[in-house]
Structure 1
Amino acid sequence: MIEIPKFHETFIPILKVLENGETLNTRELYKLVIEKFYSELSKDQLEQQTKSGDTLIINRIAWGKSYLKKGGFIEFPKRGMVRITGKGLANINKSLSLRDVENSSGFFEFYNEENNNVDSAPKMIVNSSPQDLIDEGFDQIERQVKDELLNN
């Protein structure tokens, strides 16, 4: 059985869906990525939700899209719309890892523009999306509370 992809595993599928250079609505992008690359996921997997109630597969594709934008591989020409860039086209047939995207020119400049401080740019490469980290934190707290209740 195929597993739900990690957010960085959606990079190439996102770029492949945008390969023709067309500008797509974000919802249409999610739908096409799922149809073309993750149609083998079970109904339960496709309906699995994050702790905040978002659909997990869409959440992961959204984080992949966000990282690709920060790296300059895609752009948002208008609100709710997405399009591949020349950089994205140039990398579409490569194995594009999280490290590649985070080390690409433009990625940390994105954070520097937001924060205006080089020291505040993230330095650690993590294979989990922020939502995955939040969900893991909730699970850990829940386990601790259950253990404490059982001990008391």
Structure 2
Amino acid sequence: MAIPDYQSLMLPVLTAAAEGQIRVPAAAEMIADRLGLTEEEREEMLPSGKQRLFHNRVHWAKFYLTKAGLIESPKRGVFVASAAGRGLLDQKPTRIDLDTLKQIPLFSDYYSQFAKSGKNSDDIEVLVASSASEATPEEQIDAAYALLNTTLKIDLLTRVLEQSPSFFERLIVDLLVAMGYGGSHEDAARKLGKSGDGGIDGIIDEDRLGLDRIYVQAKRYGAGSVVGRPEVQGFVGSLVGLGANKGVFVTTSTFSKQALDYARALQQRVILIDGSRLTELMVEFGVGVRASRVIEVRRLDEDFFADEG
């Protein structure tokens, strides 16, 4: 089954809390068992890869139930249903969601606090719309980030294809140096594009001392082109002729399945980087991009408020 959204988890979370004091991880496992979630569904991560999706949704269901006074925390990390929460369950609701919580004065007061804090009405409407979504705030942030990242990579590839072949070679230098190869940028720039040895476009030192070398092939092809096995095989032949065992074949297009299978079966270490992977690396290592906005998301520090007594 699909993982329920956080509003659909409010009733299961409150039910678990009514059975006694419990922690979020234990509650998540109990609810997952009752819902019959598979191991893959339990372990599915948010796009950021920093938290499990199901646990995140259980956390936010608990958060809103707490704001409505239906759940309370007798001690750090533990929660339990309040008298109001047990009273709501006695009514045997089939679902608890934000519309249900909005009927509770304490939860309505929670929203009104934003108006008193000086935020304008547009801010409040954004907050309400965000909360009413089936996605948790982290999911919304991750989804927006993924969309921006995908758009950025498409724009990057478009701009790269508009540049000259020499620009593309310099781009590969900048990227490899940013990744820690090439010794110094000057050394890398001098070697790439000047080998002229068959299928080799350049040579990059693998380390600062030049103890080992990586041979590079850089091909700027249009998006509709596909690099096949013959091109990769020609590159490997050049490596063998030079007694080299490490190579990187970079293209702005894609590799055929035959080319990929061929590279995987080689004794030499040959890495194939297509246009999609190229733009991923450019974004990851800050080549051709710059930070536009940095948002730091903070959480309440429960340890700070721990009862010392």
TM-score (normalizing by structure 2) = 0.44
Counterpart contact for 1:75–1:84, Cα < 8 Å: yes
CA offset at residue 61 of structure 1?
0.4
CA offset at residue 135 of structure 1?
1.2
Residue 75 of structure 1 aligns with which residue? 72
Residue 35 of structure 1 aligns with which residue? 33
User: Are the structure 2 counterparts of residues 55 and 84 from structure 1 closer, same or farther at C-alpha, using a change threshold of 3 Å?
Assistant: same
Query: How far apart in 2 are the matches of 1:49 and 1:32?
Result: 19
Query: How far apart in 1 are the matches of 2:118 and 2:99?
Result: 19
Query: How far apart in 2 are the matches of 1:147 and 1:132?
Result: 22
CA RMSD after TM alignment: 2.2
Rg larger for: 2
Query: How far apart in 2 are the matches of 1:139 and 1:36?
Result: 32
How do 1:1-152 and structure 2 match up within 5 A?
2-20=1-19, 22-37=20-35, 40-50=36-46, 51-92=48-89, 93-94=92-93, 95-110=95-110, 117=116, 120=119, 122-124=127-129, 125-152=132-159
**What secondary structure sits across from 1:7 in the alignment?**
coil
Letter aligned with residue 137 of structure 2: P
Query: How far apart in 2 are the matches of 1:118 and 1:86?
Result: 30
Q: Greater helix share, 1 or 2?
A: 1
Structure 1: segments with no counterpart, 5+ residues: none
Letter aligned with residue 104 of structure 1: I
Structure 2: segments with no counterpart, 5+ residues: 160-309
Deviation per residue, 1:54-100 (Å, 9 max, x gap): 01101110110001101111111111110101221222221212222
% identical aligned pairs: 21
Higher relative contact order (CA 8 A, sep 6+): 1
**What secondary structure sits across from 1:131 in the alignment?**
helix
TM-score (normalizing by structure 1) = 0.83
User: Are the structure 2 counterparts of residues 18 and 57 from structure 1 closer, same or farther at C-alpha, using a change threshold of 3 Å?
Assistant: same
Counterpart contact for 1:6–1:128, Cα < 8 Å: yes
CA offset at residue 112 of structure 1?
5.4
Q: Greater strand share, 1 or 2?
A: 2
